[in-house]
Each structure stands twice: as structure tokens, then as C-alpha cells.
Chains A and B, each alone.
Chain A
Amino acid sequence: MMISGIELVKIRDNVWEIPASGNMNVPGRVYISEKMISNNLKTGDALKQVMNVAHLPGIEKYSIAMPDIHWGYGFPIGGVAATNLEEGVISPGGVGYDINCGVRLAVTNLNSAAVKKRIEKLISKLFKYIPTGVGASGAIKKLSGKDLKSVLRKGSEWALEHDLGSPEDIEFTEESGTLKNADTDTVSKRAMERGADQVGTLGSGNHFLEVDIVEKIFDEKTAEVFGLYKDQVVLLIHTGSRGLGYQVCDDYLKILLQASSKYGFSLPDRQLACAPIRSSEGEDYLSAMQAAANFAWNNRQVIMHLAKKAFKEIFNMSETELGFRLVYDVCHNIAKVEKHKIGNEEKNVCVHRKGATRAFPPGSKLIPEKYKRVGQPVLVPGDMGRYSYITVGTEKAMDETFGSSCHGAGRNLSRRKALKNAKGRDLMKELSERGIVIQARGYKTIAEEMPGAYKDVVDVVDVMHNEGITRKVAKIRPVGVIKG
């Protein structure tokens, strides 16, 4: 099959290869169905980015794309690439501006009938406690420089030290909510200033907090291990490192653009600026990125704590009665050094996941003890009017995708087209008719983020399920949403 002059060779039903050509160091591998190719890859822009990523020095095996692939900056969204530590590079374009943008899922003992009666009050309270929207700030008091540095070093542990979390929350967060080698000297003063008053804030764009109901269980055994059952009320949070992460990316794109030229790399896109992982520029970026990732984990931890407070107050329940518990927190914009099988040997590589989620299998040393029998939860949000999925990692993900899977639905309409489609409609009423209460800082966000603006996430999840990269565990549907 040819798309805009790019050859796609069918390997399996949902796996396509872009043969290496020109200066590509490896072929491209795209996980996608024929239906999604014809609906979502009409131009070759995102595929061209898969090819561009294959030019990175030291890239191993394939430049990979998930079924939620779409045009990004440097890497496509849904892009995965592993580079070796000997001659390989690290690139901010493989992580994105919103470093450690991610999702966390918490469960409660409540059922749909209980929440239905109080959903409007609950959403109002959540909206009051969790600052949303443009430049949102002030969820907790503005951090001093010393405190902010502590957040950047400790991640979620900072929240724990300040009574904003529990040891269980840390246990059920990817990397336990802290990447250990973050040196705060690698983070600019400007980045710190952007983040100082943003801990515990949701931000704008596609970030959200949702109250959902478990609608369907696909895998009873795994759902039981995750603590999920039908009709249960759960909470889904999607946000990242806010202004601090954006600034770190900005700062290091500038530095790594110069480094790319210094090390003699010839790259097809400036947003793929990179430096050898074992260079001072590469090590500094990795450290600053880790600091921003720690900020993001702490941010989601604080937001969850504030949300728990809202639940306790609205339902007048103690924490034990409420049964509020974190299932898992995953990041989907990150670069991490991990051990993977390359040929016949296991070696450390730097895995870039840009709009892709870690999906480790049963038995992995890096997942909580409780989940070792079944694998790591992989959270895949859809849109605010339909549903989201909880899936689980498999051994095949380790074999084929460096232990990675998809991260969401991906946009279908531009924001302008979404606004145009929303004209003359009452979206609040439409959502209310679907049983969804929403609060946002402005109607524009609701229009831009309306359900029709996104692809159907089930198409994305099914590709990964059918290929055995992740398996479906449960489907949840929203009953209340707060947006920026």
C-alpha cells in the first residue's frame, strides 16, 4: 500500500512496515488497522515522522508507531523509539513539551446509584478544589525555591512528606513516582518560575478529571486484581508537568539543536534535535526531564488528594468507608533507560515514549507486587462523551514494542472545525442527555474537546488487543467531567 508516496508493507493484519530507505537506520513499524489507515492516515505526514525518527543515531530495531498515531513535533504522537547507550541519542522531540503527561485511575466503594444523586455537587466541589484552565495556579500555596527543588528531586514522595498522599499511592505509581537521578541544577530558573504555583493544577487543552462508572469487564481475573468491578465509581485524571515541563523542553531544544550540529548529526527535522545520551548535553537533558517528570507525578498525586477530599466531603464518608484507592499512575510522554532484548542479548536502551504508555508484562520486576501475576495496568482515555479503557501489558509488548502500547484516542477534528461543528448546538445539554455533568472554565474548551472531535478510542484499543500487545480489562464511561 502507498500513502503519499510512502510504502506500507503488510506484516500482519494490524502491523505495517515502512522499509528503511535513504538514511533511515532501521525500518518503521506501525500498529494500525486498515480501517484506521483509510480513516486517519489520509496524508503521509505522521508516517513521514516515523521515517524521520528512524534517522536517529543508535536507534534499535524499529521506529515504532501506535494506532493513535498522529502528526506531532519531531516524533509523531504515538511514537516509540529505543536508542542504545553506546552511540545512541536522546531527543526532547521523543518526549514532547508536556513531559510526563500521564493518567491515573483511582477506585471507590461507591456505585452508580450513589453518585448519580450527588454528581452535580461532586463536580462543583472538584472544580472548586482543583484549579483548571489557562495558567491555573494556587491549588496549594506557592512553593518556595527550596520546596520546588524538593518536588523536582522527590516527585510523589514530596506529597507523602506533606500529608498529601499515602505509601500505597507511591507503590501504585510508575517508577514509584520518582526518577532518582534528577539534578535540579539542570532545570532553568525560568522553568522553576513557571512551575512554582502550579502544583495540584489541571491546566487546559485536553487535560481533564473525570468521574466514571465501570461499564463492562472483559477480563474478570485481572479486573479483580486491579480492584475493578461493574457499576463501580472510579476517578480518572489526565495532566502533566504544566509550565515547568514545557519550559524544560523549550530550553533543551535550543541546547540540543546546537549539540546536533556540534556532533555532526544530519537530521530531517529540527524538532528531532538530540545529543548522545552519554554527552554532557544529553545527560543534562535527561536529568532536567526527570525533574519535570517528578513534578508531574507529584502534580497528579496532589490533584488526587484534593479529589479524595471532595469525595469525602460530598459523601460524608471516612477514607476507609469510601474505599478510595489508587489503581495505577502511568506516564505517556517520557524517555527512560530500561533493559530490553536486542537480538540475543538483554541491554539497557533509552526508550522514548511520545504519546505511548509503558505496558510491562506479568512478572516484571518494575510493577507493583500485587500486579505481578497479571501485568501492568495501561490506562487509555477516550473522549469525555463516550468511554475509556483499562488494559494490561503482555510479554508480546516486551518482544515487539519495547514494552509500550497506545495512550488515547487522538483528535479527529481540528479545534477550529470542532468549534464550527459546535455552532448552534447546546453541548452541555447533549452531554447531560448522555448522563454527563460537566464544568469547565469556558464553553470554548467544551466545544473544542467535544466527543466528535476525537476518534473512537475502541478502534485504537482493539488494534493493541488483537495484536496481543495489551489486553482489554475494563471499559469505563464518564458521568462527570471537569476541564480547563
Chain B
Amino acid sequence: MSGSYKQIDHTADIAFEVSGNSLEELFKASSKAWLTSVIDVTTFSQSENKKIKLSSYSKEQLLVDFLSELNFYLFTKKWLCYSVDDLSIVRKMDDWSLSASLTGNNINFKINLKQEIKAITFHQMNIKKSGNVFSTLLVFDI
């Protein structure tokens, strides 16, 4: 089973319940929740790959950093990541690190974008493991 995400009601912003059978699946599902929040169209004729490496002191901070990276690429570099592959998360004590391959391309802001995500918040974010399923709430400030 791959990860899943479900949008839930939030008065001012956008919230999702996200889950996956591993942290990697949870992170990938979170990236899809982010993608669906910013754009409707998800197929592109051209693509470009980028490798990213991030590290942080908690899995929640790592998730915020990961999605913030996608957000920065989009809203500052005008480069939309529409697929995340080879995502790997490694923990060494309090050091959480992530590597992934991003696929995307440059986009024109005048078309397609649904809204600007100001930030990925920590609001009610708590990555829990229940049985074999990792889950959390994800809230984007828009």
C-alpha cells in the first residue's frame, strides 16, 4: 500500500490527514497533498531532476523542511516538483536525514497555480506510529 492523504476542513487554511506504511511513504503522501494544494494539472511534457539532501533534529522538523523545500522551489525558483522518488530517511540518534530525487519543471505563474502556500506549519503535527501505519495532521498556512 502506498501512502494516502485526505483533505479535512480548516477555517482559514488547508489541512490534511496523511498516512503511510513507512516514514518514506508518509513523506511522499505529504508531498502529494502539497502538490494537490498548489496545482490541478499534474502531467508535464518535459521534466528535469534534482537531488536533495536535508537533515534535522526531529522527524516533524524534517517533514516541515522537506515540504518547505518544495515550496521554496515553486514560489521562488518557479520550479514545480510533481514527483518525488528514491526517498530515503535515516535516523542516527537525534539526527534525521533525508535524500530524494525530485522530478519537475519550470512553470509560468500566470497559469494553473491554485494558491500560494506561505508556510508548512507545525500546527497539530505529530507523526505517530500505530501498528505499521505512520500518520500525522498537516496544515499549510495560505
Contact = CB atoms under 8 A, between A and B. Distances in A.
Contacts of B57: 258
A415 B140 CA distance: 13
Contact of A204 (B11, B116, B123, B139): B116
Given A203-B116, A271-B121, A271-B123, A135 B75 contact: yes
Interface stretch (A8-16, A221-229, A243-251): A243-251
Nearest to B142: A205
A134 B119 contact: no
B113 interface: yes
A411 B11 contact: yes
Interface in A124-146: 133-137
Nearest to B58: A257
Interface in A250-290: 250, 253-254, 257-258, 270-271
A98 interface: yes
A328 interface: no
Highest count of chain A CB atoms <10 Å: which of B113, B125, B139: B113
Contacts of A371: none
Contact of B68 (A250, A270, A413, A417): A250
Nearest to B56: A254
Contacts of B75: 134-135, 194, 243
Contacts of A247: 72
Contacts of B64: 254
B116 A205 contact: yes
A193 B73 CA distance: 11
A283 B37 CA distance: 35
A225 to B, nearest CB: 35
B100 interface: no
B113 A416 contact: no
A73 B121 contact: yes
B119 A246 contact: yes
The binding surface of chain B is classed by DSSP as loop
B118 interface: yes
A133 B75 CA distance: 12
Contacts of A484: 116
Contacts of B123: 73, 271
B116 A135 contact: yes
A341 interface: no
Interface in B93-142: 109, 113-116, 118-123, 125, 139, 141-142
B142 to A, nearest CB: 6
Nearest to B112: A134
Contacts of A253: 122
A254 B56 CA distance: 9
B11 A134 contact: no
A110 to B, nearest CB: 32
B76 A97 contact: no
Contacts of A243: 75-76, 118
B12 interface: yes
A204 to B, nearest CB: 5
Nearest to B122: A270
Interface in A281-311: none
Interface string A40-84: 000000000000000000000000000000110100010000000
B78 interface: yes
A135 B72 contact: no
B95 to A, nearest CB: 13
Interface in A192-248: 193-194, 203-205, 243, 246-247
B11 A71 contact: yes
A253 to B, nearest CB: 7
Contacts of A116: none
A137 B76 CA distance: 10
A249 B116 contact: no
B115 A254 contact: no
Contact of A194 (B10, B76, B141): B76
B87 interface: no
A98 B141 CA distance: 10
B42 interface: no
A452 to B, nearest CB: 14
Contact of B11 (A73, A203, A414): A414
A190 interface: yes
A246 B7 CA distance: 23
Contacts of A429: none
27 contacts: A73-B121, A73-B139, A98-B118, A133-B109, A133-B116, A134-B75, A134-B115, A135-B75, A135-B109, A135-B116, A137-B109, A190-B76, A194-B76, A204-B115, A204-B116, A205-B142, A246-B119, A250-B68, A250-B119, A250-B120, A257-B61, A270-B60, A270-B125, A414-B9, A414-B11, A415-B142, A444-B114
Interface of B: 7, 9-14, 57, 60-61, 64-65, 68, 72, 74-76, 78, 109, 113-116, 118-123, 125, 139, 141-142
Given A411-B11, A415-B142, 6 more contacts: A71-B12, A73-B141, A133-B116, A134-B116, A415-B12, A444-B114
Interface of A: 70-71, 73, 77, 97-98, 133-137, 190, 193-194, 203-205, 243, 246-247, 249-250, 253-254, 257-258, 270-271, 411, 413-417, 444, 484
